[in-house]
Structure 1
Amino acid sequence: MTVKIGLIGAGGMGRAHVERIEQELAGARVVAVADLNLDGARAVAEPLGAKAYGSGAELIADPEVDAVIIATFGKVHAPDVIAAVQAGKYVLCEKPLATTIEDSIAILEAEQAAGRKLITVGFMRRFDQGYQEMRKALVSGDHGYATLVHCRHRNPSVPENYTTRNMIDDTAIHEIDVCRYLLGEEIVKVRIDTPRSTSHRFEHLADPLVLVARTESGVLIDDEVNVNIGFGYSIECELVMEQGTIRLGDQNKTVVRDGAGNRNAICGSHIDRFHDAFNQEFQQWIRAVERGEHTGSTAWDGYAATAVVEAALESLDNDGREVDVTLIEKPAFYN
């Protein structure tokens, strides 16, 4: 079976997904592309012999589309996610699942009404080999339980329309989810600390920030979000346990050694750094759709991450006050 995929969102992320599906992965092809910019949709669709639509609703209604990828802006995800679920189609939605608690809960309710899990959220770090090895080290119990997680999310730069809010809801959300994945428990408290800002930023931006969180068992998480670091895209994580630590390794296996010292190349973007993780995520999703099964993170994971983001934004607006993360009771559907 070849899974016929419809892509909603013909921007950079959507185009990267088309490239991986068409050139690197097996079992699927893109048969339709939708974007509010119809010319943009056509530019992606025509070389594939695919249809172009001016809205996600039109694409979802196409009977030829088996499954849907949503790669639009987070604030417009909810209507298309719900429409895909109501049409009985599997959907892989890039993070965030939604940007409000209300939209996230509406998505949960729609999926439960459909009676089966159809939504996978694009938290690709769960598929990164380094994070998977960290998770295995903790689950093994060989080093005791977790006490701390240190995270660093550093971008070379960001565009002028990127906001301080985006540092949390678009950037730190990755660490929020991957820490939930590593630790297997929910985050219950969060605050935002604001150190001295870098001069290499737009005036409207508070950069860097540090997100500090606590989990149900008391594990302390700190996440430095630093989006104008200049030298490259650098993701770091160290999991501290009672009798050992484990951290992500270097981005590349080769090291240059010369008169300038020992050094390895630094990735320039998340697409470079997590290329293999993206491929693993999408290949597993395609194979699961073939079998009529769900795989990957769930709509609950998307909702829980959004709840932490909302609490963090409240902290940011209140001078770094610690804020409790409020979650609805987890439906048995997601256990």
Structure 2
Amino acid sequence: MKVLVTGGAGFIGSAFVRGVLTDTLPGLEGAHVTVVDKLTYAGSLANLAPVATSGRLDVVPGDVCDPALVEAVMRRHEGVVHFAAESHVDRSIRAAAEFAMTNVVGTQVLLDAALRHGVERFVHVSTDEVYGSIPSGSWTESSPVAPNSPYAATKAGADLLALSYHRTHGLPVTVTRCANNYGPYQHPEKLIPRFVTNLLEGRTVPLYGDGSQVRDWIHVDDHCRATALVLERGKPGEVYHVGGGQELTNRELTGLLLRACGADWDRVVQVEDRKGHDRRYALDDSRLRDELGYRPEVDFAGGLAATVRWYRDNPGWWRPLVID
């Protein structure tokens, strides 16, 4: 199988590519991968270094908003896994235009090209943030989207656009919406790597508001396994939730990271809460479990310890990326 992976040099996309090329993802053993990535601040060829010499990998630097480039690379691919996105909420609050272009227009360009070339499977990777906030219980795939940040709004728009191509044109699109990811190679603008790298450097860490925001956490390798299952056997036109089963408040997570890095609470600085900050996300992923047999394999405690250890062992990767 030949699979086009957009955003394949980013955090989650590169984990998926590494999984394919090491034959650890279900149904994709022996597959050939073409990566299209704009190589912005959040994407790096260093993330693909472990599989860079594979004869089954092609890397095409470029923007998914470029119709000519997308047209050239789409042909001869049976599957598409669309990870490429602007994804940092704080950046979307400051400047939303790039999010609208990449997340919505880029998705439309890919869908048009996939339709022209008769792509057999198209997985659009999205987020639980499209639903807004839920005080109790869990969202199902039939829950209405109600995004609160510009980032989430652009992802919701892209989701609806992708699903419309199935309903209108019959394009075999599936949408996945996933919980918060963690693991190696994640840019230090995100919570876990930012806190870990700051603590390892003897710096303070910022905790938004009272830290009571609740998030569900999933290791990136589990997310990639779920994505592979949906690519292989997901029902076109459907949405699949990918949960991690590990709900924590940001304050609880901060305590775990402090202990893992040998630091105390005096390293935590409480800062003004993010505008429109969602209080809680929670996904019901029983469809993925019941229909496709998905189960998370990475225990949170072990996965978090391994993630902290990776950042401790790889300062050459993250030090040039650390933000204030």
Task: Please report the TM-score for the alignment, with normalisation by the length of structure 1.
Answer: 0.41
Task: Please report the TM-score for the alignment, with normalisation by the length of structure 2.
Answer: 0.42
